[in-house]
Chain A
Amino acid sequence: MSARDEILKRVRAGVGKDDFSARRALAEAYMAERKRGPQPTLGAELAVRFKSKAESLSSSVEVLPERAEAPAAVARYLTAGGFGLQAVITGDVAGLDWTGSGLTVAARPAVDADKVGISGCFCAVAETGTLMLLSGPETPATVSLLPETHIALVEVSRIVATMEDAFALLRAERGDLPRAINFISGPSRTGDIEQTIVLGAHGPCRVHLILTGTNP
């Protein structure tokens, strides 16, 4: 007997029920229902909540009225930190006037030598101060992973309350799941040497968020 058949036989014996197709139909119905567990009541406005949570997770946040102002703000941030003015960028935000603010950006996947990665995001989650990024030809996952500094542009109108709301938005706008959904909440960290928290384990050492626009 194959491993699959043998394991499934044991599982069926343990479950101890036979009406497989009826149970399968119930499982399908359960999935279609998209039932949610207990939901949080977020006290503040979504953008305010998102900002304060993101900051509590060691991200820095700058708020701007217009997305067009982002390149100048990014240039200021990079200059102040001494991080250089070269960046690799994802296609979804490459169209802004980066050169006009003195940056040299390249829309391509990141490599080890890239110091700064600039990305947009599919949406953001207020409850936990989290970015939701989708992998794709325009949005390589490496840009938010390999460089030491990750800068993400977040539209206030794309902030949702919970992870469940983010999934609902994804289903409505995309249908199928991309290869990778990455929820990112601040810089990478480790506590594995004597429980001392260090930022910058394997992923970015710092995450800077540019929050633009207002609620519709």
Chain B
Amino acid sequence: MSAAKHSQAMHFQARAGKEVRNAVLQRALQKAKPLFVGKRAKGIAALSEDKLEFEALRTACEDIRNRVLTDLDVWLAIFEERARASGAEVLWARDGDEICRHVVDVARQHGVTKATKSKSMLSEEARLNEALAAAGIRPVETDLGEYIVQLAGETPSHIIAPAVHKTIGDVEALFAKEHGRPVETRTSADIPAMAREAREVLRQHFLSAEMGISGANFLIAETGTAALVTNEGNGRMVTTLPKVHVVITGIEKIVPTLEDFATLMRLLPRSATGQSISNYVSLLTGTKQPGDSDGPEKTVFILVDNGRANLLGSAYQDMLRCIRCGACMNHCPVYFSLGGHAYGWVYPGPMGSVLTPLYTGIENALDLPHASTGCNQCGSVCPVRIPLPKLMHRLREEQVERGLRPWSESFGLKAWALVAGKPALYRWVMRRAARYLNWLADGSGSIRIFGLAPGWTAGRDLPVSSGKTFHELYAARKRA
């Protein structure tokens, strides 16, 4: 589990407590949440104008992804053959370190000193920017959100809105420093000017970089093609202008045909941002053709495992259907209480709570499968119908089976089982507990800081009963 060395997921509780008290972060999150939820709802509702049904499209998308996963060896062979036939090179990487080695090697072979990057979550898994910088190659993130996060020396806090945790003031301070100008007071009316400033700076990087690095939203087996979906146009820039293009993707990203891709495109942008289509959808095949004035002379695919193959045939295979739309985190009350950084690794929200333990080791992310209210909002919006709460539940079971839960928890549960099995004892204990909690609340109806579980009351109060147990109230009601 080489990925584990970069994960901070074991510090989830400590980070969560900190984020809940971070007022600036909380403001940013509270502003974003209704926008994300509202835009998706509108986008999905609009399907009915064309007599399309969300559930029918979901089934189609789920089937496409399952078709690939159940015969992934076959689809990988077809993709590899056809990508090679179109003139691209195909490399394989077992883990993040191997991704870094491949990219640095390709960069050195072509005398690359600067690489422009379009968003790639796998390059985050590999911590590629650090490896490039160490090799003397300057990585420049070009998605505006990723650029902001890179200037801040941070990692993305959301897979489609990487800088959702940053306020306009944060961005202004970063731009002033990087672009060598004094800090100005900014309001939302200045956002277009700030985006313009970034456009001008990044344009020069696009024109001068020798290498472009991107992820791929999908790999199309039929044609050996990488599909790239962006709104800003940076994906087009990094795959059109530099002489070398490196595509880094997971082995699970394949879809069979162009038709299947079209089906998935009816739900991917809608689930992510509510758009019926993203501004730019590029299908990239092979290299610059004879007579072409643009496009890379060299195209390299890096197909990455990093924990994915182990999920095939396991209880978690469904997770590999994920198309990285972000809808699950956009609808998650836990995500919107904490932001993405609390999750400690590349993927936040419900999909991260499943992927992080699976890719970095269950023992290295014990809290994440518990970061759920059980509301199943994530499961009901997921465009490929991944049963996220069920997978988190399965991970919790596995923690217990492998003896990974803290002794106090198993002791507590055993004690509860003992007491609950003896009705008279149970009623006696409950009576004592209810009176005790009521006494702690001092008549106010809630406890500010609960000594037995202080973390639990760090960001909220614990409401308590009137001091009577359920049994007592029930008996009283029956009498009345």
Cα–Cα, bound, A202→B240 (Å): 13
- Known interface pairs A23-B71, A162-B262; A201-B144 also in contact (CB < 8 Å): yes
The answer, yes or no, to whether A178 is at the interface (CB within 8 Å) is yes
Q: Which residues of B are found within 8 Å of A179, using beta-carbon distances?
A: 284-289, 292, 295
Residues B119-158 near A (CB distance < 8 A): 142-145, 148
At the interface, yes or no: B313 with Cβ under 8 Å from chain A? Answer: yes
Q: Does B414 contact A (CB under 8 A)?
A: no
Residues of B within 8 A of A16 (CB): 313
Interface string of A1-21 (1 = CB under 8 A from B): 011101110111111110010
The verdict on B362 contacting chain A, using a C-beta distance below 8 Å, is no
Complex Cα gap A11–B287 (Å): 28
Q: How far is the CB of B310 from chain A (nearest CB, A)?
A: 7
Q: Is the CB of A145 within 8 A of B256?
A: no
Chain A 173-186 per-residue mask, 1 if CB under 8 angstroms from chain B, else 0: 00001111111111
Minimal Cβ-Cβ distance residue in B for A10: B309
Binary contact track A147-189/B, C-beta < 8 Å → 1, others 0: 0000000000000001110010000000001111111111111
Q: Are the CB atoms of A40 and B51 closer together than 8 Å?
A: yes
Q: Does B7 contact A (CB under 8 A)?
A: no
User: A136–B289 contact, CB under 8 A?
Assistant: yes
Query: Once the chains are docked, how many angstroms separate the CA of A177 from the CA of B224?
Result: 10
A135 on the B face (CB < 8 A):
yes
Separation in Å of the A143 CB from the closest CB of chain B?
Answer: 10
- Chain B residues with CB under 8 Å of A200's CB are 195-196, 199
Cα(A156)–Cα(B144), bound, Å: 36
Are B70 and A15 in touch, CB under 8 angstroms?
A: yes
Interface size class of A (residues with CB under 8 A): 35 or more
**A86, CB-defined interface residue at 8 Å:** no
Q: Return B178 CB to nearest CB of chain A, in Å.
A: 15
Q: Which of B77, B195, B285, B289 contacts A190 (CB 8 A)?
A: B195
Interface of A is mostly: loop
CB A179 to nearest CB in B, in angstroms, measures 5
Cα distance A24–B81 in the bound complex, in angstroms: 13
Assess whether A101 is interfacial by the CB under 8 Å rule.
no
Residue of A nearest to B204 (CB): A112
Closest chain A residue to B306, Cβ basis: A7
CB <8 Å contact, B279 and A185: yes
- Pair B60/A37 contact, Cβ less than 8 Å: yes
Please judge, given known A-B contacts A11-B309, A178-B285, A189-B232, whether A135 and B295 are in contact too, CB under 8 Å: yes
Segment with Cβ contacts to B, from A26-34, A62-70, A71-79, A114-122: A26-34
Contact call A194/B188, Cβ cutoff below 8 A: yes
Q: Which residue of B lies closest to A16 (CB)?
A: B313
Interface residue from B233, B295, B303 paired with A202 (Cβ < 8 Å): B233
Apart from A36-B263, A137-B289, A192-B145, 8 more pairs, CB < 8 Å: A20-B74, A37-B259, A57-B277, A167-B258, A184-B280, A193-B191, A193-B194, A196-B188
21 contacts between A and B (CB under 8 A): A30-B67, A34-B257, A37-B60, A37-B61, A38-B60, A43-B49, A43-B50, A127-B276, A142-B294, A145-B237, A163-B262, A177-B86, A177-B283, A184-B279, A185-B277, A191-B273, A193-B171, A193-B191, A194-B28, A195-B31, A202-B232
Interface residues of B, Cβ cutoff 8 Å to A: 28, 31-32, 35, 49-53, 56-57, 60-61, 64, 67, 70-78, 86, 91-94, 98, 142-145, 148, 161-164, 166-168, 171, 188, 191-192, 194-196, 199, 202-203, 206-207, 221-223, 225, 231-234, 236-237, 239-241, 251, 256-260, 262-263, 265-266, 273, 276-295, 303, 305, 309-314, 317
3 shortest A-B CB distances, which residue pairs? A14-B312, A203-B233, A37-B263
